[in-house]
Amino acid sequence: MSGPLFAQEGGWTMPPSSSPLPSPGRRRALAAFVNTAAALVGGGLSALVGAFALRPATASARERWVRAAATSDLKAGVPVARLIVVPLVDGWYRDHARRTVFLVWDGEKSVRALSGTCTHLGCQVGWDGATNTFRCPCHGGVYEADGRVASGPPPRPLDTLAADILDNGDVMVRL
Ligand code: FES
């Protein structure tokens, strides 16, 4: 005789064949099934979370090349301000950022792009053609035409952005 014994009035007996308890073999199979299912679900969730955490930076943070002007919009040797609207996408969040960039074209195939954001506290600088300087209206910061600090509180030159001219004359800036 094998299998568990059950107490009953008058002695021990084998469980009835219609016992609600599954046999040990069925219990092991059920446990294996549940464990496997839990491992699959857990593994899938971990993969999803890992893919989300390790994904590349969002589009809003990624550098991108944008068309800032055409050479026909520029004047050789003179900084020209261009307002660039950059779409920001971060998950479900959508917005636009406006950035001013000054393009200085050499009249041929080279262009420099200077950020219009003052390096002191972030105001927008303007080009003063009379003095050939960039001037910040907030605290009097002054920058040379090449972006170096001439006077005032800015701690460093205007940021330089990568820029290029395509064969069709489009001026591209990397933000
Ligand atoms: S923000 Fe430009 S000088 Fe202060």
Condensed to tens digits (0 to 9), the pLDDT of residues 86-126 reads: 888 888 888 888 899 999 999 999 999 999 999 999 999 99
pLDDT of residue 45: 66
**pLDDT value, residue 63:** 72
Mutate to test the pocket of ligand 1, among 100, 121, 149, 151 (most ligand atoms within 8 A of CB): 121
175 or 43, greater pLDDT: 175
- Is the shortest distance between the CB of 142 and ligand 1 below 6 Å? no
- Determine whether the shortest distance from the Cβ of 158 to ligand 1 is under 6 A: no
Atom of ligand 1 nearest to the CA of 136: 2
With a 6 Å cutoff on the Cβ, whether 141 touches ligand 1 is yes
Q: What is the mean pLDDT of the chain?
A: 83
Q: Is any atom of ligand 1 closer than 6 Å to the C-beta of 139?
A: yes
Distance 157 CA to ligand 1 centre (A): 12
Residues 6+ apart with CB under 8 A from 39: none
CA distances from 35 to 13, 18, 27 (A): 33, 27, 12
CA of 151 to the centre of ligand 1 (A): 11
pLDDT of res. 97: 84
Q: Which residue has the higher pLDDT, 136 or 15?
A: 136
Residue 19 has pLDDT above 50, yes or no: yes
Kindly state if the Cβ of 126 falls inside 6 Å of ligand 1: no
Give the rounded percent of residues in the chain with a pLDDT score beyond 90. Answer: 54
| Lowest model confidence (mean pLDDT) among 31-45, 48-62, 105-119, 160-174 | 48-62
Which of residues 153 and 90 earns the better pLDDT score?
153
- For CA atoms 164, 165, 166, 167, give the dihedral sign: negative
| Residue among 135, 136, 156 to mutate when testing ligand 1 (max atoms within 8 A of CB) | 136
Distance 53 CA to ligand 1 centre (A): 37
The CB density around residue 135, as the number of other CB atoms within 10 Å, is 17
Instruction: Give the Cα separation of 86 and 106 in Å (integer).
Output: 26
Q: What is the 3 state secondary structure string of 45-110?
A: HHHHHHHHHHCCCCCCCCCCEEEEEEHHHCECCECEEEEEEEEEEECCEEEEEEEEEEEEECCCCC
Residue 151 reports pLDDT greater than 70: yes
Position 14 scores a pLDDT of: 60
User: pLDDT band at 60, cuts 50/70/90?
Assistant: very low
Please say whether the beta carbons of 74 and 80 come within 8 A: yes
**pLDDT at residue 66 is higher than 50:** yes
Q: What is the model's pLDDT at position 33?
A: 80
- Cβ density class 47-81: b for 16+ within 10 Å, e for less: eeeeeeeeeeeeebeeeeebebbebeebeeeebbb
Evaluate if pTM is beyond 0.85.
no
